[in-house]
Amino acid sequence: MMLTYMCRTCGCSFRSRNFGTVERFVEPCILLLLSKGSSHGYGLMEDLEKHCGEKVDIGDLYRTLRRMERDGWVESDWEKNDAGPDRRTYTITREGKDFLKSAASSLTRTDKLIHRFLEGYQKNQSA
Amino acid sequence: MMLTYMCRTCGCSFRSRNFGTVERFVEPCILLLLSKGSSHGYGLMEDLEKHCGEKVDIGDLYRTLRRMERDGWVESDWEKNDAGPDRRTYTITREGKDFLKSAASSLTRTDKLIHRFLEGYQKNQSA
DNA sequence: GCACATATATGTCAACATCATATAGTAGTT
DNA sequence: AACTACTATATGATGTTGACATATATGTGC
A26 CB less than 7 Å from any atom of strand D: yes
Q: Among B79, B73, B78, which Cα is nearest to B92's?
A: B73
Whole-number mean pLDDT of chain A?
87
Q: Residue B65: its pLDDT value, please?
A: 97
The B residues from 48 to 67 touching A (CB cutoff 8 Å) are 51-54
Residue B52's pLDDT band, with cuts at 50, 70 and 90, is confident
Q: Residue A79: its pLDDT value, please?
A: 96
Side-chain-side CA neighbours of residue B119 (13 Å): 8
pLDDT tens digits, one per residue of B8-20: 434 444 444 568 8
User: Whole-angstrom Cα distance, residue B56 to residue B65?
Assistant: 12
Q: Residue A53: its pLDDT value, please?
A: 72
Residues 79-108/B with CB within 7 Å of nucleic chain D are 81, 83-89
Residue B93, SS3 per DSSP: coil
What per-residue string of b and e applies to A19-34 under the rule 16 or more CB within 10 Å gives b? bbbbbbbbbbbbbbbb
User: Whole-angstrom Cα distance, residue B26 to residue A101?
Assistant: 26
Complete DSSP assignment for A16-51: EEE-SPBTTTHHHHHHHHHTT--EEHHHHHHHHHHH
pLDDT tens digits, one per residue of B69-111: 999 999 999 999 999 999 999 999 999 999 999 999 999 999 9
Listed in order, strand segments (DSSP E) in chain A are: 2-6, 13-18, 39-40, 74-79, 87-92
Helix/strand/coil percent split, chain B, to 5? 50, 20, 30
Residues 66-105/A with CB within 7 Å of nucleic chain C are 66, 81, 83-89
Tell me the CA distances in angstroms from A79 to A16, A40, A70, A83, B60, one per residue in order: 39, 9, 19, 12, 46
Residue A92 — φ and ψ, nearest 5°? -75, 145
Q: Quick one: fold of B23-113?
A: Arc Repressor Mutant, subunit A (1.10.10)
Asked if the model's pLDDT at residue A11 lies above 50, the reply is no
- Burial (CB < 10 A; 0-12, 13-18, 19+), residue A110, is buried
Residue A6, SS3 per DSSP: strand
Contact B74, B90 (CB under 8 A): yes
Q: Residue A51: its pLDDT value, please?
A: 75
User: Whole-angstrom Cα distance, residue A58 to residue A26?
Assistant: 12
Complete DSSP assignment for B7-64: -TTT--EEEEEE-SPBTTTHHHHHHHHHTT--EEHHHHHHHHHHHS-----HHHHHHH
Q: Residue A17: its pLDDT value, please?
A: 56
Contact B116 A22 (CB under 8 A): no
Contact A44, A30 (CB under 8 A): yes
Nucleotide showing the shortest C1' distance to residue B15 CA: D15
Contacts of B73 in chain A (CB under 8 A): none
CATH classification code of A23-122: 1.10.10.10
Tell me the CA distances in angstroms from A108 to A13, A31, A112, B58, B67, one per residue in order: 36, 17, 6, 26, 29
Q: Which residue has the higher pLDDT, A13 or B77?
A: B77
Q: What residue spans define the domains of chain A?
A: 23-122
